[in-house]
Structure 1
Amino acid sequence: MKISIFLVLLSLIGTQDTINLSLQDAIRIALENNRDIQIVKKTVEISVGDIETQKGIFDPQIGLSSSYTDGEFPTASTFIPSGTINEGEFLAESGVTGNLPTGTFYNLFNFSVARTTTDSDIVDLTPSWTTNLGFTIGQNLLQGFGLDVNLTPITVAKISSEISVKELETTISDVFLNVETAYWNLVAAKKNLELANTILDLSKDLQRRNEIQVEVGVLPPVAVTEAKSEVARNEVGVIVADNALKAAEDNLKNILAISITQKIDATDEPTTVVKTYDESQTFNEALEKRPEVAQAKLDIESKETLKKFYSNQRLPSLSVQASVQLQGLGGSANPDRLSFGDEPEPIPPQFDEASDAFRQLAETDFPTFAVLGILSFPIFNWTAKGNYVKASADLDRSVITFKKVGDDVELDVSNAIRAIENSIKGINATKVAVELAEEVLRNEQERLNVGIGTTRNVLDAQRDLVDARFAQIQAIVNYNIALARLERAKGTILEAKGVKIKE
């Protein structure tokens, strides 16, 4: 299984020093660079490898072995006065063993050939060749019977791989939400700095006008002092806003995994288009599309598979086996073999050549058939019972977890919709507050110009306007973040950003 991520790629537009980032640009960079996404991608690759590993339990095993022995062996035979036999043997063996998903096991082409030499007088052939060819097949009838049971490791590995894909989707969704949150916070910090500079310019302009009016005797000297104090205060505000902007930039760069020294600029404007949602319909959509819900369902499927497996393991082990053995013998007559007459009896012609041992296998001259039944079971069976109890509890826990995930999804959707509604109210309220603060500032400025107002009243009106505009910026940003949170809560944030994960 390969994971492919498709995204409409947008080119970055910027100078050599500063990268101008749209939100979609930031999403693309995060998809390519973010460390959390890279880590989970590797987890997916590991899970794919685990599937291949589990398939190995059905790999046929070819065995090859050979040996040579040469030694002296004691004997009490009266036909060998020395009491010693010198014997040498070369042995070669091969076979193919394995298991099938049905619970069938086999040992095929179990072939052996031995060449033996001896100085014993009571052996008719030296060197002698003996051959054996066996075929054995068996079937588990209770424990280990059936496809479902024997494919359990592969099935669980496949489900785990699907879960890892859902984890990847969850991680990407979280990263996209973090990117969008950091992006809009950067936009807010940028606008706040612009506003701080604007109010600084206004306070400096008021200081200049007050100095002129003090010179002509319209205002008292304290008006200049108050204006200078406000300039100093606003200069501090600019410093604070600039630091906040740099912190917001660094936070976004950290998520995007780009150099902390790289300058970036957010170019998108937040939306103020009002969107409404039906909570019940949105919740149903979230249950269908949230990766966490799918992941919880897959976990239940995995635990059900394991429960069935451990249920089967409680059964006795009963198997039936059938085997066929073919044998062959051949070699050269022992010239020193024992004889009770003038000449030793001749070797039967079917055994007097080495090739006879192989011919007899081919012609199945000496077959042996066997059928075997094996039954075994532990007296108390504690291990199998304990594993089944654990598997049952594990399944129950997964079911409860699935229900909890549903509850959490419903809460996420409800909170996200409420945040959107509150943000819309905040935008409307701050819009009115800005308009009223602007009107108050105009009135206070006019009163100051005609000599019936005070500098303090103008400064207070400027501060109120700044606070109202700050609140308006934050309300708009909160609305855009709330929209992103709802997409995350619905499980549609990847779709909204043009990203698809395919297996």
Structure 2
Amino acid sequence: MNCLTTHLGRFGVYPAVVAVILLLFGCVTPDYWYGDQPLYTPEGGDMGDSPVEEQVSLPTRQPTPLPTAEDGKIAIFIEDAVFLCLQQNPELLVERYNPMIALSFEQIERGRYDPEIFGELQYLDETATEVSRSTRERFSVEGRDVNATAGVRQQLPTGTEIEATFGGKRSISNRTPEQQDFRVGLTLTQSLLKGFGPATNLADIRLAELDSRASYYQLRGFIETLVSEVEIGYWQYVFAEQGIAIFERSLEVARKQLAEVENRIEVGVIPKNAAAAARTEVARRQQALIEARSIHAERRLRLMRLLNVTGSDRFSLQLITRSSPQTATAPLDDLSEHVQLAMKLRADLGEAGLQQKKQELEVVRTRNGLLPKLDFFIDIGKTGYAESFRGAVSDLENDSYDLLTGLRFSSYLDNRSARGRHQAATVSRAQAAAAVDNLKSLIAYDVLAAANEVNRAEKKIEASRVTRMLQEQTLEAEQERFAVGNVTSLLVAQAQRDLLVSQLDEVEAKVDYRIALVRFFLAEGSLLERRGIKLDSALAGPGTPVL
């Protein structure tokens, strides 16, 4: 493109006014170039402010002391277990760094539009020999030049680049008088096709913001999973704890039965081989008790790991549960409401929605990349000349100005790279939309399946209670028949074994019901709200989930 250079007549103060307006306009940060467009949340909910603050500190684990131990035992409620886990779990501390990392990338993208100041200082010392064209006489030339330039430049989300400069030059030579010049200039470059408009140029910032909010959903999902693991681990520990008590009572009953059989053998009421079944039952109960204690120890260690219990006594420290699994809850009536609630609260659906929004922004950006590059530029300047710096500045009031303006064009002939990126972005957008629809279907299935498990576990509680009562009556009847000699000790042992199984089934049914509720609330996405846990805005920093 040809450029037009001209000297204009007197402009008065207009160039200065234009320069001031453009400089003030250029210092505006891109934070307010677009309206408060609500980001995607499930079912169109508005997330509001960013879940992470712009100024954050490194997250720290706040040590929370365990309840006072008595005789190496600590009594703990399920609420205590959840609180201690949120305060001290090291995996949660690691995850809390992710929102901070995502936020830093957001600041990096915003920094592209920060004003930049620059300066340059040059010094040239030259000694040369030249030949006069007219006289062919050789003469020596000595000169020194000092050139200083400073200014400010900024890119704007509109596709505009503004640069304002001022600088002076001092030239000293043994062949010419000293000369100084001072120039003030303003350069503006505006993209007209590719790179034009905030919608395209703010895409990277918007993508970084979406990543920041996605990190919030990821952190929320991790905390939900962590809380569910703690509660499930607690109830499994309760089952192991009560299972040991049941096995110990069962072993005591088996030993009493063996003692009674041996007494009757001594008096000759029953033959000696009648004690074999009773001894076998005692051995079985001892074996089962060993297995139960092993399971109890494993679940204790797992729960203590989730609570991050440290110290030299952590291997010998015993946890005593104080929460009972016999807590009644409201029945699950209208499942459609629970499904709708899951569509609003599920963290994975929120994150998937943000991914869909990111793909939409990619389509906008790659569509603009299909256009050719066409830039309009203009450079306005004014220069003063004199033998002194002050005189050069004063000479700016003269009538001469310089203006350089024109168009700059470039384009790839086939532009296959841009077309390929746009095609990939378009397909990825359709894929993200399909993924959201599929996830909604899976969430509805998860809620309904979890609700079915809750109903099954709730009904099993009453059924197992009735079974246990009937087994107690059966054992009592077998013991009475054994006392009068109508049955052998083998039938009594079988009745004891059946009672043991029914007792374990009853406790397991109660624990399974509590675990099923936890998993239902997790599928619904309401576990944190139902436990009174709120993720505050400073979660990425030193703050912690609020209970």
Same structural fold, with TM-score higher than 0.5 when normalized by the shorter chain: yes
Q: Which has the higher Rg, Structure 1 or Structure 2? A: 1
Q: How much has 1:265 moved relative to structure 2?
A: 2.4
SS of residue paired to 2:465: helix
1:403-418 equivalences in 2 (<5 Å): 403-418=437-452
Quick one: which of 292, 313, 322 aligns to 1:267?
Answer: 322
1:394-405 equivalences in 2 (<5 Å): 394-405=428-439
Quick one: which of 102, 110, 121 aligns to 1:66?
Answer: 121
Q: How much has 1:317 moved relative to structure 2?
A: 1.8
Q: How much has 1:397 moved relative to structure 2?
A: 1.5
Code of the aligned partner of 1:356: G
The residue aligned with 2:525 is 491
The residue aligned with 2:373 is 317
Matched, 1:156 2:210: no
Quick one: which of 357, 365, 369 aligns to 2:392?
Answer: 357
Matched, 1:222 2:278: no
Q: How much has 1:221 moved relative to structure 2?
A: 2.3
Contact 1:156 1:305 in 2 (8 A): yes
Supply the distance in 2 between the matched residues of 1:463 and 1:178 (Cα, whole angstroms).
32
Summarize deviations over 1:219-248 as a string: whole Å, max 9, x none.
332333432332222111111110010011
Change (3 A) 1:454 1:70: same
The residue aligned with 1:250 is 301
Contact 2:75 2:321 in 1 (8 A): yes
Summarize deviations over 1:186-243 as a string: whole Å, max 9, x none.
0100011100100011111112222322222323323334323322221111111100
Contact 1:107 1:137 in 2 (8 A): yes
Change (3 A) 1:163 1:328: same
Contact 1:143 1:314 in 2 (8 A): yes
Moved more, 216-225 or 380-389: 216-225
The residue aligned with 2:33 is none
Matched, 1:390 2:441: no
Quick one: which of 19, 25, 43 aligns to 2:98?
Answer: 43
Supply the distance in 2 between the matched residues of 1:354 and 1:203 (Cα, whole angstroms).
111
Summarize deviations over 1:142-182 as a string: whole Å, max 9, x none.
22222221111111111111111011111111111111111
Give RMSD over aligned pairs: 2.2
The residue aligned with 1:338 is none
1:188-227 equivalences in 2 (<5 Å): 188-227=239-278
Q: How much has 1:24 moved relative to structure 2?
A: 1.2
Summarize deviations over 1:20-62 as a string: whole Å, max 9, x none.
2211111112212233322221111111111111110001111
Supply the distance in 1 between the matched residues of 2:280 and 2:409 (Cα, whole angstroms).
97
1:97-496 equivalences in 2 (<5 Å): 97-108=153-164, 110-120=165-175, 123=176, 125-126=177-178, 128-259=179-310, 261=315, 262-271=317-326, 273=328, 275-331=331-387, 353-361=388-396, 363=397, 365-496=399-530
Supply the distance in 2 between the matched residues of 1:25 and 1:322 (Cα, whole angstroms).
68
Quick one: which of 137, 158, 183 aligns to 1:81?
Answer: 137
Q: How much has 1:483 moved relative to structure 2?
A: 0.5
The residue aligned with 1:347 is none
Supply the distance in 1 between the matched residues of 2:88 and 2:508 (Cα, whole angstroms).
29
Contact 1:12 1:20 in 2 (8 A): no
Change (3 A) 1:101 1:443: same
Contact 1:10 1:25 in 2 (8 A): no
Supply the distance in 2 between the matched residues of 1:73 and 1:499 (Cα, whole angstroms).
80
Contact 1:36 1:171 in 2 (8 A): no
The residue aligned with 1:30 is 85
Supply the distance in 2 between the matched residues of 1:244 and 1:321 (Cα, whole angstroms).
77
SS of residue paired to 2:96: helix
Supply the distance in 1 between the matched residues of 2:223 and 2:153 (Cα, whole angstroms).
45
Supply the distance in 2 between the matched residues of 1:80 and 1:67 (Cα, whole angstroms).
33
Moved over 6 A (4+): none
The residue aligned with 1:348 is none
Tell me how many residue pairs correspond in the alignment.
Answer: 473
Supply the distance in 2 between the matched residues of 1:325 and 1:484 (Cα, whole angstroms).
72
Q: How much has 1:137 moved relative to structure 2?
A: 1.8
Change (3 A) 1:354 1:248: closer
SS of residue paired to 2:412: coil
Q: How much has 1:79 moved relative to structure 2?
A: 6.3
Q: How much has 1:432 moved relative to structure 2?
A: 2.1
SS of residue paired to 1:357: helix
Change (3 A) 1:87 1:436: same
Moved more, 180-189 or 268-277: 268-277
Change (3 A) 1:80 1:358: farther
Q: How much has 1:272 moved relative to structure 2?
A: 5.5
Summarize deviations over 1:292-320 as a string: whole Å, max 9, x none.
11111111112111211111121122222
Q: How much has 1:12 moved relative to structure 2?
A: 5.2
Contact 2:482 2:488 in 1 (8 A): yes
TM-score scaled by length of structure 1: 0.89
Contact 2:378 2:405 in 1 (8 A): yes
Code of the aligned partner of 1:311: R
Contiguous gaps of at least 5 residues in structure 2: 1-51, 538-547
Supply the distance in 2 between the matched residues of 1:319 and 1:84 (Cα, whole angstroms).
46
Summarize deviations over 1:326-368 as a string: whole Å, max 9, x none.
112222xxxxxxxxxxxxxxxxxxxxx442112123x255321
Supply the distance in 2 between the matched residues of 1:95 and 1:383 (Cα, whole angstroms).
36
Code of the aligned partner of 1:175: L
Contact 2:386 2:395 in 1 (8 A): no
Supply the distance in 2 between the matched residues of 1:272 and 1:231 (Cα, whole angstroms).
35
Supply the distance in 1 between the matched residues of 2:509 and 2:463 (Cα, whole angstroms).
9
Summarize deviations over 1:71-115 as a string: whole Å, max 9, x none.
22343324683344222212111121111122211011x122122
Change (3 A) 1:326 1:214: same
Supply the distance in 2 between the matched residues of 1:364 and 1:187 (Cα, whole angstroms).
92
Percent identity, aligned pairs only?
A: 26
SS of residue paired to 1:65: strand
Supply the distance in 1 between the matched residues of 2:135 and 2:245 (Cα, whole angstroms).
116
Change (3 A) 1:239 1:141: same
Q: How much has 1:116 moved relative to structure 2?
A: 1.7
